[in-house]
Structure 1
Amino acid sequence: MASIQKRPNGSWRARYRDENGKEHSRHFPYRNAPTPGAKGRRAGDSAQEWLDSVTASIVTGRYVDPDAGRVTLQTFFDDWSQRQVWATGTATAMSLAVRSFDPSVELARLRRSHVEAWVKRMTTDGLAPGTIKTRVNNVRAVLRAAVRDKLIATDPSDGVTLPRLRKAEHAMSIPTPETVGAVLSASEPWMHAYVTLAAFAGLRLGEASAVQVSDIDFLRRTLHVRRQVQRAPGGTIAVTPPKYGSERDVFLADELLEILARHIETQGVRGEEQWIFVGAHGEPPHQNTISYHWRKTLVAAEVEHFKLHDLRHFYASGLIAAGCDVVTVQRALGHAKATTTLSTYSHLWPTAADRTRAAASGLIRSALPSLADSSRTADAGNA
């Protein structure tokens, strides 16, 4: 229900009730004008326009109670986050993103300019484009939840320009087999098996730390990835399920099985869970522990610094070079979707040009064996 009424003092009052029956009103004051009553009529028109806009927002489902958005971003996040089903790492990342934005600002006062200034500040501070994108997406999730709860009408982060990400083929670092061999040779005895799981099974750092003896099926030559280790507040560890879609079985090479068997025999296992890698207090190692030993290993190997996670790229590149299809690589790496695998490694698969040349070469060699033989003879002579 809505109405407009002229007051005795010449002002106009527009009123309406929202879907919860709460009454809202706004006054449009009368002001003197050269033509008597002219300003009063314009005030009445303004009241009608305001009421029309409110009615339109109600009809289109975009109505927001003017008082609803007066809570701060942090207050809304604290309440909303309690209802979310998140892994520990996700909860930590979400909280960090909100704190780095402006948690004290009221939702109703948020503007696109706030988000743009925040992105600019992170860029100036030297954060990587990928990190900035992740933080903006995390805050955007909170803002969109506020839109769904009708605390704000629109998401102020929508359409904000982010720093350009480097293309995967330029951003990705893949160590050479020689580099991986040097690192393995320089690894401490307990670290040797850890590196092999990353390089030849594609395990993430947290997944490798969480391997138990029972996860290794020596008969079927399979490793069951069922959990991961994450660093919890206070420097402790949290053992959680792997990332969504990452629980999987990895088929192991015979050589890797021999390395794991020798590791278990010489290094032993710890605890009732039979962890094969151990950090402080008999628990599996967390990220800081592994990072420390990884840096030591790189120094000992005298190789250029690269991330332990790059060994996962090394494994993926090997599968692709051997002719494995997208789904095979996806399942081996534990990607939830094949699109993730493609967006990360599409540049490693042979292109149409590569396949066309290889096919044409095969046709030539089958149809003109003498030409193929002369080509091989010429190549031998050049060598």
Structure 2
Amino acid sequence: MARAWVEDRRKHAAYLEAVERAKATGRKPPARWRVRWYDPDGKARAKAVARKPDADALAAKIESELSSGAYRDPSAGRVLVRDVAEAWLAAQSTQKRSTLELYRTMIDAHILPRWGGVQVDRVRRDDIAVWLGALDGGADKKRLAYSIMARIMEWCVPERIAVNPVRSVKPPKAAPSRKVFLTAEEVEALADATTGRASRVLVLVLAYVGLRIGEAAALKARNVDLKRRRVRIEATLIEGKGGLYEDTPKSGESRTVALPASVAAELKPLIEECREPDSYVFTTDSGSPLRLDTWRRHHFAPAVAAAGLKGKDITPHALRHTAASLAIAEGADVKVVQTMLGHAKATITLDTYGHLFPDRLDEVAGRLDKARAAARLQRAKSKALRSDA
């Protein structure tokens, strides 16, 4: 039994009356043919069509969609992008607070002004491309706006739209990443140039342990084991819309890293000054938690200038890159650097710092030669012993 069929409305008296009324008033008569069907929920649906061939084509299309499971409620695509965006954002409950705040900002500033009042089935590929090209800001901001818009529209597939029009547009290319690496001598010069109660030690921890600045700011006395020279990273300190708050590290996982003895010695006085195990290690001179932007402006930037490093475009994050480069130079392998920096996957470490690892092909080939020579020597000795026997 067909699930969609075409009905000739001329067989109904109500239709004939409607045609006569339209003629009498000079209006266009209603369409003669009506396609009828039941949707997957058993709800009766109908659509009037003027020409019989068009009605037959529509009925065949609906029949095929119902059979294949590709059917969508014709009214479902009329929902506005702003409503879908709010529903999508509300569903991101597993995301970090800082990520949700970033999504909220991007949606309000860049997506809703252009797309908020548009029906999701009216979002077109060409319009997406034009919108991306006209967005203010650099490549990173455009890539983020593209990513969020793509996820919002993906939320509509397949119930509201058949395909995501955003995915058919190539995302903007990422901006070239320029990483700054300091030498150990430059790190020492920067540390010596700092002012403030904890800034010198903070610079050393960032450059030799590889913590993110927020992770260092969230470090508590109980996280530091000076005897074993270990640091446990359990949180990151973030300055959001509601002020300072703690969140999990970027990877979502805690980690333990080694503390160089010389850095541990400089860290010891700060630990001893902590009144409670949960006291922050790095604070302002008044004992308040570090506000990262304030520390950058009032302590880090002046130290960079005083150390003669102003032209190198150094940020606190550059000290994390420096920690990786110094560790690699001292022979650390990929897994050690991954653990040190808290990367979720070793591929992230390789993609970021792979060019710093030395080319050891000749070294490995030489060791294989030695292993083969030793094996051949042992084999020769075994043959000689069997011959003597």
TM range (shorter): 0.7 to 0.9
Number of aligned residue pairs: give it. Answer: 341
1:110 partner amino acid: V
DSSP 3-state at the match of 2:86: helix
CA contact (8 A) 2:234 2:255 kept: yes
Moved over 4 A (4+): 279-283, 357-364
1:250 partner amino acid: V
Of 298, 301, 308, the match for 2:304? 298
Of 240, 247, 250, the match for 1:240? 247
Cα distance 1:316–1:58, how it changes in 2: closer, same or farther (>3 A)?
farther
Deviations 1:226-281 (A, max 9, x none): 011111214x111112123441001111111111113345xx33677211122598
Alignment correspondent of 1:175: 182
Of 123, 127, 140, the match for 2:150? 140
Following superposition, the deviation at residue 309 of structure 1 comes to 0.7
Alignment correspondent of 1:158: 167
Alignment correspondent of 1:12: 33
DSSP 3-state at the match of 1:86: coil
Following superposition, the deviation at residue 77 of structure 1 comes to 2.3
Write the distance in 2 (CA, Å) between the matches of 1:279 and 1:73.
Answer: 45
Deviations 1:45-92 (A, max 9, x none): 222222333333344443322222333222222233223222111101
After TM superposition, the structure 1 stretch with the greater mean CA deviation from structure 2, 19-28 or 272-281, is 272-281
CA contact (8 A) 2:209 2:259 kept: yes
Any stretches of 5+ residues in structure 2 without a counterpart?
Answer: 11-18, 20-30, 374-389
DSSP 3-state at the match of 1:15: strand
Report the TM-score, using the length of structure 1 for normalisation: 0.80
Deviations 1:2-23 (A, max 9, x none): 1111221772211222212233
2:342 partner amino acid: G
Cα distance 1:105–1:259, how it changes in 2: closer, same or farther (>3 A)?
farther
Cα distance 1:62–1:275, how it changes in 2: closer, same or farther (>3 A)?
same
Alignment correspondent of 2:118: 105
CA contact (8 A) 1:18 1:24 kept: yes
After TM superposition, the structure 1 stretch with the greater mean CA deviation from structure 2, 328-337 or 294-303, is 294-303
Following superposition, the deviation at residue 282 of structure 1 comes to 5.0
What is the aligned-residue RMSD (CA, Å)?
Answer: 2.7
Any stretches of 5+ residues in structure 1 without a counterpart?
Answer: 30-42, 368-383
Q: Counterparts of 1:300-315 in structure 2 under 5 Å?
A: 300-303=306-309, 304=311, 305-315=313-323
Following superposition, the deviation at residue 115 of structure 1 comes to 2.1
2:126 partner amino acid: S
Write the distance in 2 (CA, Å) between the matches of 1:325 and 1:60.
Answer: 53
Write the distance in 1 (CA, Å) between the matches of 2:209 and 2:244.
Answer: 23
CA contact (8 A) 2:198 2:283 kept: no
Following superposition, the deviation at residue 110 of structure 1 comes to 1.4
Cα distance 1:166–1:220, how it changes in 2: closer, same or farther (>3 A)?
same
Cα distance 1:153–1:19, how it changes in 2: closer, same or farther (>3 A)?
same
Write the distance in 1 (CA, Å) between the matches of 2:104 and 2:324.
Answer: 32
Deviations 1:130-162 (A, max 9, x none): 3322332222222212226x2322212103123
Q: Counterparts of 1:52-91 in structure 2 under 5 Å?
A: 52-84=60-92, 85-91=94-100
DSSP 3-state at the match of 2:245: strand
Identity over aligned pairs, percent: 28
1:339 partner amino acid: T
Report the TM-score, using the length of structure 2 for normalisation: 0.79
Is the aligned partner of 1:213 residue 2:221?
yes
